[in-house]
Amino acid sequence: MTCAVLSIGTELTRGELVNTNASWLSAALTDLGFEVIEQAVVDDEKERIVATVERLSRLVPVIVCTGGLGPTTDDLTTVAVASALGVGLERDEASLELIRRRLEKFGRTMSDSNAKQADFPAGAAILANPIGTAPGFGVTLNGTRAFFMPGVPREMKRMYEEQVVPRIRDLAQKVSHQIHFRTFGLPESVVGERLAGVEEAFPGVTIGYRAHFPEIEVKVLARAALGADKKSTEDAARDLAERAAAEVKTRLADVIYGDGDDTFAGVVGRALRTRGLTLAIAESCTGGLVGHMLTKEPGASDYLLLDAVTYANSAKQTVLGVDEEVLRGHGAVSPEVACRMAEGARRVAGSDVALSITGVAGPTGGTDAKPVGLVYLAVATAKGTVVKERRFPGERFNIQTLAAYVGLAMVRDAANEGR
């Protein structure tokens, strides 16, 4: 069943506040089996609220709304909904008493503007707010169930769970199950081409993509129509999602690095940790990004000994022992220096594995022979040193990020292959 999420507030339409309520509610409604087809945000203008509630009530059978229930003059949701229904406001004495008591608990007395929060469109069902002054309410407009909640996230979330979910759960009619994969190594268009035909092969499945440079997240969403037995429908949705996900996994085997909750650095760290391997890094053009990615996550101290960001040539010599002649003869951006950096980091730190990255991140410093984007990456282990040359496209940000990912992938592969 479809539904819509409505958010009311000029602080939203002016962009002063990011609308996290809409995404939270949309995720919760999707989980419940609803298809959210629209999120609407309008400013604190009574006529626009009336028009939008009217319009949505003709579009979807369920509307979940937040905002505009506060005590100030710009809080107009209740009067707007009464106007859309063509009814008056009625004061609810029980709610008034609860508001009075709540204010007293905070050492305050009730004002007219507080009392206004006990007014509801005639006939509305009142939704209790145990952790704030503004109760919510539910009405039926043009056959649509519409629920109005405060905009304060924690009050809204609790009211949704306790008051709204029990009233709409049985309307969802569909049950969905979603499986996520995280990939690195292919652009979105190629990932999409690899998965051509999967939706057709598994009716009820939708494939979604989300780009987070340089990663592409792939989402497999399966929906099943609600049968007599909710449990068996849930099983059917999960089974469908799992079958489609297995196909996706086969087609993207070389680029999927983990599931929904994994991070690339986390997966690399896990590969090292499970094998009891230690790591040293020598960065140049990535300037500390690899170390930052690994140490953003807790637990890097299990394996990371050293990240020597040897930005100047002098530091490459002093800290990593790279020979001055090698630097002069081949230049800092060369396979030779990459190898010496990795070997030097491994020796200095006494680690099992060492990664080095040296390149031209730009925007300046490129030459015909060594253009912006040219990067050398080396991994040194007890079995020897391997070096890769890559030419990364894009701007400084892209080059640094891609270099860090490719370097981390080399570390992961070395750990997994026991190299």
Near a copy of itself by CB under 8 A: residue from 61, 70, 266, 359: 70
The smaller minimum CB distance to a copy of itself, of residues 23 and 416, is found at 23
Contact between 13 and a copy of itself (CB under 8 A)? yes
Near a copy of itself by CB under 8 A: residue from 1, 48, 126, 370: 48
Contact between 305 and a copy of itself (CB under 8 A)? yes
Contact between 187 and a copy of itself (CB under 8 A)? yes
Closest CA to 50 of 83, 3, 8, 12: 83
Contact between 211 and a copy of itself (CB under 8 A)? yes
Q: Is residue 341 within 8 Å of 378, Cβ to Cβ?
A: yes
CA distance 255 to 245: 14
CA distance 396 to 403: 10
Contact between 201 and a copy of itself (CB under 8 A)? no
Contact between 250 and a copy of itself (CB under 8 A)? no
Which segment (38-46, 77-85, 226-234, 249-257) binds a copy of itself by CB under 8 A?
A: 38-46
208-215 contacts, C-beta under 8 A, 24 or more apart: 213/398, 213/401, 214/184, 214/398, 214/401, 214/402, 214/405, 215/182, 215/183, 215/184, 215/264
Q: Is residue 276 within 8 Å of 251, Cβ to Cβ?
A: no
What is the Cα 148 distance to its own chain's centre?
A: 27
Which segment (80-88, 138-146, 166-174, 287-295) binds a copy of itself by CB under 8 A?
A: 287-295
Near a copy of itself by CB under 8 A: residue from 91, 296, 328, 383: 296
Contact between 294 and a copy of itself (CB under 8 A)? yes
Site mask for a copy of itself (CB under 8 A), range 376-405, x = bound: ---------------x-xxxxx--x-----
Contact between 72 and a copy of itself (CB under 8 A)? yes
Q: What DSSP string describes 33-65?
A: T-EEEEEEEE-S-HHHHHHHHHHHHHH-SEEEE
Site mask for a copy of itself (CB under 8 A), range 105-134, x = bound: xxxx--x-xx----------------x-x-
Contact between 318 and a copy of itself (CB under 8 A)? yes
Contact between 206 and a copy of itself (CB under 8 A)? yes
SS3 219: strand
The smaller minimum CB distance to a copy of itself, of residues 189 and 274, is found at 189
Under 8 Å CB-to-CB from 50, ≥6 apart: which residues? 80, 83, 84
**Nearest approach, Cβ of 228 to a copy of itself (angstroms)?**
27
